[in-house]
């Protein structure tokens, strides 16, 4: 796995150098402006060249120490290098694959290359971050220091496939868990030191969320997301109404009436105006989401994995989807539901009841995310009861099903959101599920990743690491609510694509970074340096570029 990661970095670094000589690649600049500098088929030639040059260099240096298999493979790869002028795209893809395999084998063979690259990359990240920060305060810096963001951009066209693979892994894991009677778990870790990581991660989440509103970053005070305008209008409607509760139940068919009441009374209590409360509310939900995701992961995988997930949450595509797109009610509701999952995972009845109560409340916070996630959680409790008819599993299912029934009964008799969502979902399913070819659906998901919320959801590194983390789970004989959520998301993507608004919200709800944390907790120091330095740089770049 380490070799795969390094090979991706080395080959994409070569792509950047090629771009400087106008051989280039697909590049996303300033949100949605896409420039095609080179035909995509030449992409394979460049990648093959990178892998082959690495292979040739190491082969010449260490020819005597290579086994006969490695020598034979080297000759095959070097021979394929001479075939780069092949006109067939199939031949080029084949050559690209051979070069990639060669790079992986080399990187597994030569550990020193890996360590050397790791710290070279870290130095480049530090220079690039400094360049970005200097640019914010008005100091011009060379564009070469912005290399990492271009390298990440190269992989964006494959993000859709990486996402689908990650979602499919949950189905495989679930299938294997149902075939096995016993369960295993990862090492829990030391709970004392983990709280320090959590606190620092929560502070980091506030800093990143507030960065687009710093005067140096946003001197004109422009809003970073159009959702601020939406919530300002909704709050003004509630202010004009003589009955705020009645207004909350009617706005947007009442799909977030509890959330509107929450920020309305926060506004009244603090004396802030609608603009201010709509702007800073995300700053409050960011650390809450960090905490709840950490707590959920701690219950699922232990403190050791949760420590990484705490830091990954503010650096994730999910967090930047909220920074760029707003989705404040969705943001707050995810924090509530993830906290509820952690409580429901517990064997203690009081925590299970508290988790069920959060599920009951969350339907009024954001009905759309509730309908996406809560059925998956309910299915998990049913399967837990089927696998092991214990008292804890029975009480978990009883409390959760009671809370869900009460939530549906209340919403269906009070507001129109439940009926409205069901009608809209059925309409979209009938329109898209059977009437669109598979490739059009895949293209719709790709468009949603690269365009919706200005490409904030399209970080291929998160998806690569998520797949790596999920491969580790194949040896774990257990399943959890995230497996059911990922399967539900996969079904939803098929049902609603290419309607990018709906499928983007489905993608926004899934915490891919939980499995990234799983991978990092079982990775080497060098791998962690690569992943964290790249994600931090990417986060600085996105946070600074959030204002229009």
* Phi/psi-derived region of residue 138, left when phi > 0, alpha when psi is between -120 and 50, beta in every other case: left
Q: CB–CB of 50/19 below 8 Å? A: no
Contact 471, 173 (CB under 8 A): no
Q: Is the pLDDT of residue 96 over 70?
A: no
Range of the domain at 265: 155-511
Contact of 73 with 105, CB cutoff 8 Å: yes
Integer Cα distance of 436 and 431 in angstroms: 8
Please check whether residue 106 is in contact with residue 114, taking contact to mean a CB–CB distance below 8 angstroms: no
Does the predicted model carry a pTM greater than 0.85?
no
Q: What is the percent of the chain where pLDDT is above 90?
A: 39
Confidence of residue 268 (pLDDT cuts 50, 70, 90): very high
Residues 175 and 218 in one domain: yes
Nearest to residue 462, comparing CAs of 146, 152, 42, 37? 152
Residue 85 banded pLDDT, cuts 50, 70, 90: very low
Q: How confident is the model at residue 152 (pLDDT cuts 50, 70, 90)?
A: confident
> Are 74 and 180 within one domain?
no
Q: Looking at the structure, do residues 97 and 195 belong to the same domain, yes or no? A: no
pLDDT value of residue 133: 83
pLDDT recorded at residue 450:
84
540 is a domain residue: no
> Which residue bears the tokens 């209008």?
233
The Cα–Cα gap between 233 and 366 comes to 17
CA distance 17 to 415: 57
For residue 209, with 0-12 CB atoms within 10 Å meaning exposed, 13-18 middle and 19 or more buried, which class applies?
A: buried
Note the pLDDT of residue 308.
95
Question: Does the pLDDT value for residue 234 go beyond 90?
Answer: yes
If you average pLDDT over residues 432-458, what whole number do you get?
84
pLDDT of residue 59 exceeding 70, the answer is no
Q: 345 or 419: whose pLDDT is higher?
A: 345
Using alpha carbons, select from 189, 185, 154 the residue that is nearest to residue 472: 185
Same domain, 198 and 119: no
**Mean pLDDT (the chain, rounded):** 80
Instruction: Judge if the upstream peptide bond of residue 46 is cis by omega within 30 degrees of 0.
Output: no
Q: Highest-confidence range of 124-128, 203-207, 452-456, by mean pLDDT?
A: 203-207
Report how many domains make up the chain: 2
91 and 200 within one domain: no
Enclosing H/E stretch for 418: helix 417-432
Q: What is the mean pLDDT of residues 389-411?
A: 93
Residues 161 and 109 in one domain: no
DSSP per residue over 271-313, as a string? T--HHHHHHHHHHHHHHHHHHHHHHHHHHHH-HHHHHHHHHHG
- Quick one: tokens of 341? 């999952």
Helices (H), ranges, 66-158: 68-81, 89-109, 111-136, 147-154
216 lies in the same domain as 138: no
What's the rounded mean pLDDT across residues 71-85? Answer: 57
Report for 170-179, 229-238, 494-503: range of highest mean pLDDT: 229-238
Is-contact 463 166, C-beta < 8 A? yes
Q: For residue 349, what are its two tokens?
A: 């009845």
pLDDT at position 122 over 50: yes
pLDDT at 5 over 80: no
More confident residue, 497 or 508: 508
Is residue 524 in a domain? no
Burial class, 22, CB count within 10 angstroms (exposed 0-12 / middle 13-18 / buried 19+): exposed
The domain boundary residue, chosen from 131, 151, 171: 151
Shared domain for 146 and 167, answered yes or no, is no
Question: Which residue in this structure is represented by tokens 């084949």?
Answer: 94
DSSP 366: -
Say yes or no to pLDDT of 340 above 60. Answer: yes
Greater model confidence, 344 or 123? 344
Over range 212-224, report the average pLDDT.
Answer: 87
Residue 542 in any domain: the answer is no
pLDDT at 162: 86
> Of 33-47, 308-322, 354-368, where does mean pLDDT reach its minimum?
33-47
The average pLDDT across 500-506 equals 91
Cα 107 from Cα 163, distance rounded (Å):
25
Give, in order, the Cα–Cα distances in Å from 351 to each of 311, 400, 404, 416, 481: 25, 11, 16, 31, 16
Q: Is the pLDDT of residue 157 over 90?
A: no
The pLDDT of residue 326 is above 70: yes
Q: In the prediction, which pLDDT does 9 show?
A: 46
- The answer to whether the beta carbons of residues 353 and 307 sit under 8 Å apart is no
* Residue 192 resides in a domain: yes
Residue 348 pLDDT > 80: yes
Q: 90-115 burial, b for 16+ CB within 10 Å, e for fewer?
A: eebebbbebbbebbbbbbeebeebbe
Q: Is the pLDDT of residue 245 over 70?
A: yes
| For range 265-280, the mean pLDDT | 93
**288 and 417 share one domain:** yes
Least confident of 148-152, 220-224, 299-303, 344-348: 148-152
Q: Is residue 539 part of a domain?
A: no
* Domain annotation covers residue 437: yes
Q: Under a CB-based contact definition with an 8 Å cutoff, are residues 150 and 24 in contact? A: no
The answer, yes or no, to whether residue 295 has pLDDT greater than 80, is yes
With respect to residue 535, please indicate whether it lies within any of the assigned structural domains. no
* Same domain membership, residue 176 and residue 297: yes
Most confident residue range from 73-87, 104-118, 132-146 = 132-146
At residue 175, the pLDDT reads: 81
Across residues 139-159, what is the average pLDDT? 69
Ranges of H-type helices in 366-479: 367-387, 391-414, 417-432, 438-451, 460-472
Please determine, for residue 28, whether its predicted confidence score (pLDDT) is greater than 50.
no
Pick the last residue of a domain from 151, 167, 184: 151
- Give the mean pLDDT of 130-149: 72
Q: How confident is the model at residue 171 (pLDDT cuts 50, 70, 90)?
A: confident
Q: Which range in 222-226, 307-311, 541-545 is most confidently predicted, on average pLDDT? A: 307-311
Dihedral sign for Cα atoms in the order 426, 428, 431, 434 = negative
Q: What is the pLDDT of residue 479?
A: 82
pLDDT (average), residues 278-303:
94
Q: Which helix (H) or strand (E) holds 29?
A: strand 26-29
- Are 145 and 232 contained in the same domain? no
Where does a domain end: 151, 170, 189? Answer: 151
Distance from C-alpha of 27 to C-alpha of 152, rounded to nearest angstrom: 9
Q: How confident is the model at residue 218 (pLDDT cuts 50, 70, 90)?
A: confident
* One domain, residues 185 and 122: no
């Amino acid at each position: 796995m380490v070799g795969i990661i390094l090979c991706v970095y080395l080959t994409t670094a070569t792509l950047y150098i090629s771009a400087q000589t106008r051989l280039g690649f697909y590049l996303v600049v300033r949100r949605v402006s896409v420039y095609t500098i080179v035909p995509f088929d030449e992409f394979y030639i460049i990648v093959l060249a990178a892998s082959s040059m690495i292979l040739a260099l190491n082969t010449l240096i260490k020819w005597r120490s290579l086994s006969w298999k490695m020598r034979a493979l080297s000759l095959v790869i070097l021979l394929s290098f001479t075939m780069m002028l092949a006109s067939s795209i199939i031949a080029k893809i084949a050559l690209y694959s051979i070069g990639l395999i060669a790079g992986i084998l080399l990187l597994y063979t030569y550990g020193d290359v890996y360590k050397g690259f790791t710290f070279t990359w870290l130095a480049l990240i530090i220079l690039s971050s400094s360049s970005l920060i200097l640019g914010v305060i008005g100091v011009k810096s060379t564009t070469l220091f912005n290399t990492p963001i271009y390298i990440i951009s190269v992989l964006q066209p494959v993000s859709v496939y990486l996402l689908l693979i990650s979602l499919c892994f949950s189905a495989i894991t679930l299938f294997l868990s149902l075939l096995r009677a016993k369960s295993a778990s990862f090492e829990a870790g030391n709970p004392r030191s983990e709280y320090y990581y959590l606190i620092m991660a929560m502070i980091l989440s506030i800093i990143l969320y507030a960065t687009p509103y710093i005067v140096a970053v946003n001197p004109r005070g422009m809003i970073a997301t159009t959702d601020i305008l939406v919530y300002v209008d909704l709050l003004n409607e509630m202010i004009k109404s003589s009955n705020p509760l009645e207004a909350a139940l009617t706005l947007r068919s009442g799909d977030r009436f509890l959330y509107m009441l929450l920020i309305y009374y926060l506004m009244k209590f603090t004396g802030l105006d609608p603009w201010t409360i709509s702007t800073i509310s995300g700053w409050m939900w960011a650390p809450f989401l960090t905490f709840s995701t950490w707590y959920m992961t701690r219950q699922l995988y232990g403190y050791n994995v949760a420590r990484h997930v705490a830091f990954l949450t503010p650096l994730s595509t999910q967090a930047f989807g909220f920074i760029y797109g707003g989705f404040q009610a969705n943001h707050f509701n995810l924090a509530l539901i993830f906290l509820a999952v952690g409580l429901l995972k517990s064997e203690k009845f009081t925590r299970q009841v508290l988790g069920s109560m959060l599920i009951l409340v969350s339907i009024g916070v954001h009905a759309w995310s509730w309908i996406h996630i809560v059925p998956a959680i309910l299915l998990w409790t049913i399967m837990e009861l089927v696998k092991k008819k214990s008292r804890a599993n029975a009480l978990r299912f009883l409390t959760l099903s009671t809370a869900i029934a009460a939530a549906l009964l209340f919403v269906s008799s009070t507001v129109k959101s439940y009926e409205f969502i069901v009608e809209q979902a059925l309409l979209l399913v009938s329109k898209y599920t059977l009437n669109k070819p598979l490739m059009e659906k895949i293209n719709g998901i790709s468009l949603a990743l690269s365009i919706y919320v200005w490409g904030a959801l399209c970080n291929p590194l998160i998806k690569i690491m998520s797949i790596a983390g999920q491969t580790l789970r194949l040896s774990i004989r257990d399943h959890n609510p995230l497996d059911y959520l990922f399967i539900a998301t996969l079904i939803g993507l098929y049902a609603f694509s290419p309607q990018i608004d709906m499928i983007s919200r489905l993608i926004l709800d899934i915490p891919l970074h939980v499995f990234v944390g799983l991978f990092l907790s079982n990775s080497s120091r060098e791998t962690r340096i690569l992943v964290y330095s790249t994600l931090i740089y990417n986060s600085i770049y996105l946070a600074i570029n959030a204002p229009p």
